[in-house]
Amino acid sequence: MDARDVRDKMTVEEVEQRLRETREELWRLRFRAATEQLENPLLLRQLRRDIARMLTILNEHRQGIRPLPERGEGTPS
């Protein structure tokens, strides 16, 4: 996921939903990593970075540094 795509195409609600989904996926992968070998262990790093990226974008929006598009302004998904 690219930060530009999140900023340009997703609303706050969509980013928060994607953040929840990514956190759940990371939890499932951590559980699987503890019980079996993962096919792609680098996916854990990618998910952690995606979570950090989304949290940064949400914090920028909430502080007024870089607002996210309102409903209807972004590209329909």
pLDDT of residue 3: 92
* Model pLDDT for residues 45-65, shown as the tens digit of each residue: 999 999 999 999 999 999 999
Q: Where are the domains of the chain?
A: 3-62
Q: What is the pLDDT of residue 70?
A: 86
| Residues in the chain where the model's pLDDT stays below 50 | 77
Instruction: State the Cα–Cα distance between residues 27 and 18, nearest whole angstrom.
Output: 14
Handedness of CA 20, 51, 77, 59 (dihedral sign): positive
Predicted local confidence at residue 76, as pLDDT: 54
Q: How is residue 63 annotated by DSSP?
A: T
Please give the CATH number for the structural domain made up of 3-62.
1.10.287
Task: Report d(CA 22, CA 19) in Å as an integer.
Answer: 5
pLDDT confidence of residue 39? 92
pTM of the model: 0.86
pLDDT at res. 1: 79
